Amino acid sequence: MGKRGDGPLSDGGRVLDVPLILALSIDPNSTPMSNKNTTGGPIWGQKMGLKFDSKTSHVDRLLYMSGKPGLGKPSIFKAVDANGNTDYEDGCVGFKDGGIEYKMAEGNICSSIMGLNSSVDPSDVCDNGADWVDYKTFSGSSGTHNTKYDSFYEIKIPFSTLGITKDYITNNGIGAMLVATRGESALDCVPFDVSMLDNATGDYSADPSTSAEKDDIDVITAPLANVGKSSITPPPPPQGLPLQVNFGADRSAPQEAGTALTLKGIGYGGSETGYKYEFIVDGKTVQASSSKDSYTWNLTSGKHTIKCIITDSKGATATTTKTYTAEGGTNPELPLANNSTISATSIKKGSSVTMTAKATGGKAPYKYRYFCKPEGASGWTALTGTTTATSFTHKPARAITYQYAVKVADSKGKTSTKYFTVKVSATVTLKNASTISATSIKKGFFNQAYSKGNRWHSSL
């Protein structure tokens, strides 16, 4: 989805000539791709801060193409080594040589386009209670959304280029995810992954006026969409091959010390049955040989040697050894949590409320911002700039409902926002309810009050 002005005038104000990546998972048993070439650089010559978690988001094919069909040399890549790296010879097939075609049309065929109308925190995209609207019908300050600037793509990939058949799609299924980029990092993906917004509030190194999402490193953990069968079934292991074990951690190195990693072995070949796995870290057996194919390892600082030894039912063995490096100290970092509070949720007009900011987890020191949104307002008003003050007091001007928000940010730029609703009611008007015993009396009756010392006296 786009809007006028997102791209150059030569392209009609559209965003077009940027890298699009179609990630596929054909065989879940295959070596997952690193999204790098064998020299350690990015596949398309630009920094591309994008990784796929091999445990939750296995990818073994990457199709790189321009958002403007006809530009560049779109190609499909696969891994050529055990680390999942590719090259431009054995691992690369151009779209033309592979019979792959893709086209783009203007417009949007979706019945609705759901998006946020008002937000002060990226985490709102994961909140069903946030201010969601249908852009196809919603009219905001800039009017209604013009689908003319949206782009619809269709791609055709021969089964032979993927090394599969129609029956394979039907019986096994494959995984798919489309990633949109600006050349240095991912900005959006379908299915959506939260890493697309984890640095949205930071500054882009080349232009601080825009988001750090343009050049950060995103690790995708969301499962790929299924194409064909409703769930992807790994194909049977190849027959007649020597015993082998595909082994590694569920997260690519380096990771911070204290991270809990899953070491996993996937065996194939040999007798095809009765596989047992032994896991070794720095020369010490951490899990004896058994049918359990994984081990949870709490990473410590430094460089480590990890090893998996597989044994089949006939006693044959195979070993895979890798190195793994940790960064930082030995204490795991807890997720950033916003534990802010507000002094009251119901007050009289003329009274004030105090927001008290409190954060845990993440990486200190913390900074804060305070917001409010009066009933009927279209957007949020920042009550402060970024501050280290842990509280802020605000006096509502009207007897309506106000929303308040406290946004906390840690030293790494991670943010979390907590919302409050405060109902302001009108103050009670002073009324004089005094009475008198009579409004008509006979002559000779009177009431007199006078002071004597510190006492009051009356006579009749």
Percent of the chain at pLDDT > 90 equals 39
Tokens describing residue 195: 């890493």
So what's the pLDDT on residue 278?
96
354 or 333, which is more confident: 354
User: Average of pLDDT values for 383-396?
Assistant: 95
Per-residue pLDDT tens for 125-135? 777 777 888 88
So what's the pLDDT on residue 246?
78
Q: How far apart are CA 24 and CA 52, in angstroms?
A: 11
CB-based burial of residue 283 (10 Å sphere; 0-12 exposed, 13-18 middle, 19+ buried)?
Answer: exposed
So what's the pLDDT on residue 333?
59
So what's the pLDDT on residue 331?
44
So what's the pLDDT on residue 240?
57
Which of 217, 188, 221 has its CA nearest to residue 49?
217
So what's the pLDDT on residue 14?
63
Which of 176, 157, 174 has its CA nearest to residue 97?
157
Tokens describing residue 152: 């619809």
Per-residue pLDDT tens for 266-298? 887 788 889 999 999 999 999 999 999 999 998
206 or 387, which is more confident: 387
Tokens describing residue 136: 């196809």
CA 325 distance to own-chain centroid = 25
Per-residue pLDDT tens for 406-446? 999 998 889 999 999 999 998 777 778 788 887 887 776 55
Using DSSP bridges, classify how beta strands 415-425 and 346-348 pair: parallel, antiparallel or unpaired.
parallel
Which residues, 6+ apart, have CB-to-CB distance to 9 below 8 Å? none
Q: Give me the amino acid identity at 273.
A: T
CA 67 distance to own-chain centroid = 23
Quickly state the pLDDT bin for 459 (edges 50, 70, 90).
very low
Q: Residue 450 pLDDT > 70, yes or no?
A: no
So what's the pLDDT on residue 457?
45
Report in angstroms the alpha-carbon separations of 121 from 209, 408, 451: 17, 10, 68
So what's the pLDDT on residue 38?
87
Percent of the chain at pLDDT > 70 equals 88
252 or 292, which is more confident: 292
So what's the pLDDT on residue 181?
86
What is the Cβ-side half-sphere exposure of residue 70, based on CA atoms within 13 angstroms? 4
So what's the pLDDT on residue 3?
55
Longest dimension (CA), the chain: 129
